[in-house]
Amino acid sequence: MNKIKSASINSNNKVEESIIFEKNILLVEDNIINQRIIILSLKNIVRKIDVANNGEEALNLFKKEKYDLILMDLQMPVMDGFVATKRIREIENTNKTHTPIIAVTANALLGDRDKCIDAGMDDYISKPFKIDVLIDKMAKLILK
């Protein structure tokens, strides 16, 4: 089956979607409704979406699989998104790799963006968001 999308479609969204096609994504999110919304929005655009319910599950998956991008909720039980991101960056420091991480947070608290960048995240999006905005951020990081 030919899965290549045309990049000549007159829509930025289609071009961006074609960029993140064939990519493996790790979604780290404890809220099942949010999980479903993001999976439904991305499932036809990316190759695979693995889901972790908290930071600890994310770390276990990260050690086993290679991901092109991680979507990381901040507030989660067991291990939150800040700690999980710091652990992932520690692992990557030893093998000189870098997986783009986008923080996905419930409330746009002042200073959250700085906290995310300090924790080693590449970008930040606050819920609720338009899926096109997320796809745009994903495409930019994957293209880097």
Q: Which residues bind Mg ion (CB under 5 A)?
A: 30, 73, 75-76
- Cβ proximity to Mg ion: between 12 and 75 the closer is 75
CB of 30 to Mg ion, least distance (A): 4
In this structure, the dihedral spanned by the alpha carbons of residues 37, 40, 41 and 42, taken in order and rounded to 10 degrees, is: 120
Residues 6 or more apart whose CB falls under 8 angstroms from that of 89 comprise 120
- Cβ proximity to Mg ion: between 19 and 116 the closer is 116
Whole-angstrom distance, CA of residue 139 vs CA of residue 131: 12
Collapsing DSSP to helix, strand or coil, 144 comes out as coil
CB of 74 to Mg ion, least distance (A): 7
- Cβ proximity to Mg ion: between 17 and 30 the closer is 30
- Cβ proximity to Mg ion: between 113 and 127 the closer is 127
CB of 106 to Mg ion, least distance (A): 6
Whole-angstrom distance, CA of residue 104 vs CA of residue 132: 14
Residue with the two structure tokens 């693995």: 50
CB neighbours of residue 68 within 10 Å: 18
CB of 48 to Mg ion, least distance (A): 22
The bridge status of strand 48-52 relative to strand 101-105 is unpaired
CB of 102 to Mg ion, least distance (A): 14
- Cβ proximity to Mg ion: between 16 and 30 the closer is 30
